[in-house]
Amino acid sequence: MPTLADLPIPLDFEPMEAKLVDELPTGPGWRFEPKWDGFRCLAFRAGDEVDLRAKSGKPLARYFPDMVAALKALPAASFVVDGELTIAVGGELSFDALQMRLHPAESRVRKLAAENPATLVLFDCLTDRKGRSLVEAPLSARRAELEALSARLKAPPERVRLSPGTASLEEARDWLAHTGAALDGVVAKRLDGPYVSGERAMLKIKRMRTAECVVGGFRYERDSRQVGSLLLGLYNDAGKLDHVGFTATITDAERPDLTQRLEKLAGGDGFTGSAPGGPSRWSNGRSQEWTPLKPSLVVEVRYDHVTGDRFRHGTKLLRWRPDKAPGQCTLDQLRAEAAPERLLAKLA
């Protein structure tokens, strides 16, 4: 019986990564795929052994026992595949549901797995049917092997799906125009390119958008009394100011004056709806204390992705908007855009 140690791809193998660029590449030889909103995952199977590894190399199997069971049930005794772990809640992909799985209590993890099981969306294959490495093979050959693996599964299992792709630039542009709730952008890969471990050998393209937000609070820099980040808010349907994210793109030159300006506004209600959290075991020791402000300042920020009415990543501060009334800054700006139906249908 083969073991994971017998696989030609080691468990600490670094996945190929993508470089962020502004535009979709043109010309022949490119393949475009959706960039799904999930956890990147290398999945290993050898006989009865299954392991899952995050992009960082950290083990994921204990947090996704449902996926371990799903991969063990596949009629393929040995493989190494690259994909994205996703969880659908109410018919939409939920990054928050993925984060909730990273819990220390096994009982909690198993409860969540039973309520909302994960799906692994496959987009690359690192070993062939005979267990040989495909790392040096071009993407065209790896994709053919991945499709052959999917075909051997006969009726595709509910929790393992093959990600769609296209060579059409127009179709990729259409996907990019509909990034939002399920799609995090588009990835472009060379059909003749090998799998380059740990390097940014792919391209990722995201649609950047802007929003005007109220500054509902701020955090000081660590071990400093100067502003480190602005906490952003938008008004919900009930008229309450919800915390939606942060921006930390503040230059050293502007910190002293900005700190004084913010401290003069301290003591307000801050966020009257959902508010920033306090210290947690995920904060890596970084201070999570924040100072609430009177809601009078408005900034325009640039962002790339929204999950659950919050900016997924930090935003870029573009400019202050003294011409904008705080009450005009509402959650309507972040309305989730559905992924193209035909893409989700291919995973259904």
Is there a domain that residue 251 lies in? yes
Using the structure block, give the residue that is written with the tokens 């300042």: 297
Whether residues 194 and 268 fall in one domain: no
Is there a domain that residue 13 lies in? yes
Whether residues 203 and 240 fall in one domain: no
Among candidate residues 335, 106, 161, the one with its CA nearest the CA of residue 236: 335
Whether residues 38 and 112 fall in one domain: yes
Among candidate residues 328, 281, 245, the one with its CA nearest the CA of residue 103: 281
Whether residues 148 and 216 fall in one domain: no
**Residue at which a domain ends, from 155, 188, 207:** 207
Q: Which residues are catalytic?
A: 35
3-class SS of residue 248: coil
How far apart are the C-alpha atoms of 301 and 293, rounded to whole Å? 18
pLDDT for residue 285: 42
Whether residues 47 and 174 fall in one domain: yes
DSSP state string for 170-190: HHHHHHHHT-SSSEEEEEEEE
User: Which CATH number fits the domain that encloses residue 57?
Assistant: 3.30.470.30
Q: What is the CA radius of gyration of the chain?
A: 22
CA angle 212, 217, 221 (to 5 degrees): 110
**Residue at which a domain ends, from 207, 232, 247:** 207
pLDDT for residue 181: 56
**Full pLDDT tens readout for the chain, 348 residues:** 779 999 999 999 999 999 989 899 999 999 999 998 889 999 999 999 999 999 989 999 999 999 999 999 998 889 999 999 999 887 778 888 998 999 889 999 999 999 999 999 999 999 999 999 999 999 999 999 999 998 888 656 779 999 999 999 999 998 888 776 567 789 999 999 999 999 999 999 988 888 999 999 999 998 889 999 999 999 999 999 999 999 999 999 999 999 999 999 998 788 999 998 754 333 444 446 899 999 999 999 998 888 778 888 889 999 999 888 999 999 988 865 555 555 656 664
Kind of pairing between the strands at 291-292 and 160-162: unpaired
Using the structure block, give the residue that is written with the tokens 């705080």: 326
Tokens read off for 185: 């952008």
User: Which CATH number fits the domain that encloses residue 294?
Assistant: 2.40.50.140
Tokens read off for 274: 């959902």
Is there a domain that residue 347 lies in? no
Whether residues 274 and 239 fall in one domain: yes
Whether residues 100 and 12 fall in one domain: yes
pLDDT for residue 234: 96
**Residue at which a domain ends, from 165, 183, 207:** 207
Is there a domain that residue 343 lies in? no
Whether residues 37 and 127 fall in one domain: yes
Does pTM surpass 0.95? Answer: no
Overall domain count for the chain: 2
3-class SS of residue 215: strand
**β-strand partners of 189:** 31
pLDDT for residue 40: 95
Is there a domain that residue 65 lies in? yes
Whether residues 203 and 237 fall in one domain: no
Expressed as residue numbers, the domain containing 232 is 209-334
Kind of pairing between the strands at 209-220 and 291-292: antiparallel
Whether residues 213 and 275 fall in one domain: yes
Is there a domain that residue 16 lies in? yes
Is there a domain that residue 346 lies in? no
Whether residues 116 and 134 fall in one domain: yes
pLDDT for residue 281: 34
Is there a domain that residue 75 lies in? yes
Whether residues 173 and 136 fall in one domain: yes
